[in-house]
Structure 1
Amino acid sequence: MRNDNIRNALTRTHAQKTFDITRRDAIWVTSISPYFENKTNWSSWLRTSLGLRFDGFRFEVSNSNLNQNNGTRYDGLLSPKLAIVMGPWMNTELYLNGGLGFHSNDARGINTRLDPVNGETVHRADPLARTYSAETGIRSTWVDRLQSTLVVWWMDLESELVFVGDAGATVASRPSRRYGLEFANYYHPVHWLTLDADFSFSHSRFRDSVAGEGNHVPNAVETVIATGATFHKVFNGFYGGPRLRYLGPRALNEDNTQRSDSTILLSAMLGYKLNKSLRIQAEVFNILNRKDDAITYFYTSRMPGEVNRGVDDFHFHPVEPVSVRIGFVMNY
């Protein structure tokens, strides 16, 4: 079971002072997800896992400035899944996974009947959108102290979510197809040090065509690299290490004429274990003090009264500048 209580607002500001509110919502999303799983070892080199999961959702939105967008909706889906694992041979195994899944849509879009900007009637999104997916890969510890996984995956979605900046909401869009490659590595040169490097490459396109529009999925990530080093229980109780994350450029509109820049973030953490239950740790974010964007959008901005005109431009949220956080962790 899970419950999320969200307070969300899109405000109009000038010089960091709010002068109007486009929409403000109190959102409750509650879900329950029972499942059944059966694992069978058919032989020393073949095993399977068969599962069935139900996901039930309740979406409630209370809108303080537009009562027509208040509401509560319910939905649920059954999702069968199957995994087949062959091996190991030479500390290496092959696997194939497949099944049905879903993604939940924005609770605001599920209950929105009127556009909060122009008051026009809009179509409410379906609460849950079905997905069909499969992956095949290889896992290996053949090289001493190195664990590697190479995966090829595919996913079809009934509908994509597209962000509408001026309305502060996401809307259900066309069906899409995604596929890609992932390569994960963990290396332990000594018992107190772990080196890791993950590489991900993906291709995302809408599955149907619309006249005058392209087939790129806006803001679909294409390249991600995450790597770092972690040392454990060394130097009289110290632990931590640096982390590097790279997000590559991506399409911001359907015809791929506007693309984001890449984002690079370097951070580090240093902690000290005081005793069995108490730790103190410090984290430094954006060590390089880069001026990259945490997220980038491209859409039309309009001033009050501009209905059929405006300016197409980039909209972004910058990454945090260099910052330090110190905290305590207590285990019971």
Structure 2
Amino acid sequence: MQSGLFKANAYVIKSRLQLFSNFTYALNNPERGDQFQQFENRVTAGVNASRLWFGKLGQRDTETEVGAQVRFDRLDPITLANSEARQIYETVRTDTVSETSAALYVRNTTEWLPWLRSIAGLRADQFWYGVSSDNPANSGNGTDHIVSPKFSVVMLPADQTEVFLNWGRGYHSNDVRGATTTIDPSTGEPTQKVNVLVPATGYEIGVRTRRLAPGLQLSASLWQLDIGSELVFSGDSGTTEPSRPSRRRGIELAGYYAPPDGPLAGLILDADAALSRARFRDHEDIGDYIPESIQTTVSAGVSYNTGRWSVGARARYFSPRPLIEDNSVRSASSFLVNLKVGYRVLKDVRVFAEVLNVFGKRVNDIDYYYASLLKGETSPLNADASPAGINDHHIHPAEPRTFRVGVLWNF
């Protein structure tokens, strides 16, 4: 189209998932263990369409996009069952779930002055859902909706330098079964329903520039994110569960350098760092730290391409982080370095060799802290005489020093 662009796509996805897990070992069932199976048979279908117009607002260039998205999910069935050695011996719950979501959005970008432009947007989401459970008390139908405005201002105070301010509202969605469940299928106890859509509001101010040197890009930003309900990992179920409202604040720094010519042409240097503070907004005696909220991350890399050859190295650092709400238990930090060398055999074919975890660091990619129990262990008891388990770290170690070779074919 001469005045803009129209885009549309449609999709249908058929998937089946069978997942066996055991996060607490033998805490709930000392004889058979705590292994469980999650199974879902899902069909997803959707349509996306948008229309983009280029135009003028007086003498000012403007760009407007209007779009719509529709998605339907059918899960029939979705089940949770207790298992031993991957053999089902008890069904905990089985459901049939239908969920439809529709969204309309509009976005406008206007250049008010050569050094000032704005981006404004508005999105409306509507959800319809139905759950048919093997326990009628956990069945139901419902709807939820949310409106998400967004606004950005970009200013150019100097050549190749931008100052930006962003504000916007978004959301994350919870499992719709949580909106209809009134009885915990594992314990038989009453449980509280959760909202399907949880709002989040973000704020950001920053600057980026390319004027200091050819090929050099630098950026820095301050941000804040308020979430209506944080998702926190639960060791009992091995999933994330809705929790308390939270606030995250931080600063992000980034640099990228790629000399366009001269003796350093082909060299690329990049580095990113993020520092953040995350807390629950409602004070509770258990503590206000958000488990697993990382406080400092740093990533840096260097690569060089000359002729058919390419070499590179990348380093990553994760700081210690709180594992429980009172910050009395923390993870260890981790630092990893990877190396890679490649050679272009043909135009579209490259061979490469890489070394992961060059220094052979014994660090963890995942670190949780919760109660579990091994078979044969003696458990302390809760007030109701049920096993309390033993609180400990549950980890997934990073790969040891690993050598890997491969062939990359682009076509």
For Structure 1 versus Structure 2, the TM-score category normalised by the shorter chain is: 0.7 to 0.9
Instruction: Say whether 1:165 aligns with 2:239.
Output: no
Letter in 2 for 1:195: L
Instruction: Say whether 1:148 aligns with 2:159.
Output: no
The count of residues paired between Structure 1 and Structure 2 equals: 325
Instruction: Encode CA deviations 1:193-229: one digit per residue, 9 max, x unaligned.
Output: 111111100001111122x311111111100000011
Letter in 1 for 2:356: F
How far did residue 115 of structure 1 move?
4.8
Instruction: Encode CA deviations 1:96-117: one digit per residue, 9 max, x unaligned.
Output: 0111011233678667666565
In structure 2, C-alpha distance between the alignment counterparts of 1:148 and 1:329, rounded to whole Å:
31
**1:177-192 counterparts in 2 under 5 A?**
177-189=247-259, 190-192=264-266
Cα 1:39–1:300 shift into 2, 3 Å? same
**1:27 touches 1:107 (CA, 8 Å); kept in 2?**
no
In structure 2, C-alpha distance between the alignment counterparts of 1:91 and 1:59, rounded to whole Å:
48
Letter in 1 for 2:327: N
Please name the residue that 1:258 is paired with: 329
- Which shifted more, 251-260 or 114-123? 114-123
Which among 344, 347, 370 is matched to residue 299 of structure 1?
370
How far did residue 322 of structure 1 move?
1.9
In structure 2, C-alpha distance between the alignment counterparts of 1:330 and 1:58, rounded to whole Å:
44
In structure 1, C-alpha distance between the alignment counterparts of 2:138 and 2:19, rounded to whole Å:
14
In structure 2, C-alpha distance between the alignment counterparts of 1:29 and 1:101, rounded to whole Å:
26
Which among 380, 385, 389 is matched to residue 310 of structure 1?
389
Letter in 2 for 1:22: F
Task: Tell me the TM-score normalized by structure 1.
Answer: 0.83
Q: Secondary structure at the match of 1:79?
A: strand
- Which shifted more, 96-105 or 280-289? 280-289
Please name the residue that 1:138 is paired with: 207
Cα 1:297–1:73 shift into 2, 3 Å? farther
Instruction: Say whether 1:194 aligns with 2:268.
Output: yes
Cα 1:95–1:177 shift into 2, 3 Å? same
Please name the residue that 2:107 is paired with: 37
Please name the residue that 1:283 is paired with: 354
In structure 1, C-alpha distance between the alignment counterparts of 2:138 and 2:403, rounded to whole Å:
41
Letter in 1 for 2:207: I
Please name the residue that 2:295 is paired with: 222
Q: Secondary structure at the match of 1:283?
A: strand
**1:58-69 counterparts in 2 under 5 A?**
none
Please name the residue that 1:123 is paired with: 192
How far did residue 302 of structure 1 move?
4.0
Please name the residue that 2:61 is paired with: none
- Which shifted more, 31-40 or 72-81? 72-81
**1:239-254 counterparts in 2 under 5 A?**
239-254=310-325
Instruction: Encode CA deviations 1:46-92: one digit per residue, 9 max, x unaligned.
Output: 011112335567999999x9999899987654422111000040432
**1:27 touches 1:62 (CA, 8 Å); kept in 2?**
no
Q: Secondary structure at the match of 1:167?
A: coil
For structure 1, the residue ranges without an aligned partner over 5 or more in a row are none
In structure 2, C-alpha distance between the alignment counterparts of 1:69 and 1:258, rounded to whole Å:
36
**2:18 touches 2:37 (CA, 8 Å); kept in 1?**
no
Which protein is bigger by CA-based radius of gyration? 2
How far did residue 265 of structure 1 move?
1.5
Please name the residue that 2:22 is paired with: 11
Which among 109, 114, 119 is matched to residue 49 of structure 1?
119
In structure 2, C-alpha distance between the alignment counterparts of 1:173 and 1:8, rounded to whole Å:
24
In structure 2, C-alpha distance between the alignment counterparts of 1:245 and 1:168, rounded to whole Å:
27
Instruction: Say whether 1:25 aligns with 2:99.
Output: no
Instruction: Say whether 1:328 aligns with 2:407.
Output: yes
CA RMSD, 1 decimal:
3.5
In structure 1, C-alpha distance between the alignment counterparts of 2:254 and 2:330, rounded to whole Å:
27
In structure 2, C-alpha distance between the alignment counterparts of 1:179 and 1:75, rounded to whole Å:
28
Instruction: Say whether 1:105 aligns with 2:191.
Output: no
In structure 2, C-alpha distance between the alignment counterparts of 1:72 and 1:28, rounded to whole Å:
19
Instruction: Encode CA deviations 1:216-261: one digit per residue, 9 max, x unaligned.
Output: 11111100000011223x1x32224111010100111111111110
Instruction: Encode CA deviations 1:116-164: one digit per residue, 9 max, x unaligned.
Output: 6545443344333210011000111121032110100011000001111
Task: Tell me the TM-score normalized by structure 2.
Answer: 0.69
- Which shifted more, 176-185 or 309-318? 309-318
In structure 2, C-alpha distance between the alignment counterparts of 1:268 and 1:76, rounded to whole Å:
48
Instruction: Encode CA deviations 1:247-285: one digit per residue, 9 max, x unaligned.
Output: 100111111111110011111222233333333333322
Please name the residue that 2:340 is paired with: 269
Cα 1:191–1:69 shift into 2, 3 Å? farther
Cα 1:4–1:196 shift into 2, 3 Å? farther
In structure 2, C-alpha distance between the alignment counterparts of 1:272 and 1:55, rounded to whole Å:
48
Letter in 2 for 1:52: L
Letter in 1 for 2:391: D
Q: Secondary structure at the match of 1:166?
A: coil
Letter in 1 for 2:390: V
In structure 1, C-alpha distance between the alignment counterparts of 2:317 and 2:347, rounded to whole Å:
35
Cα 1:101–1:226 shift into 2, 3 Å? same
Which among 69, 75, 81 is matched to residue 150 of structure 2?
81
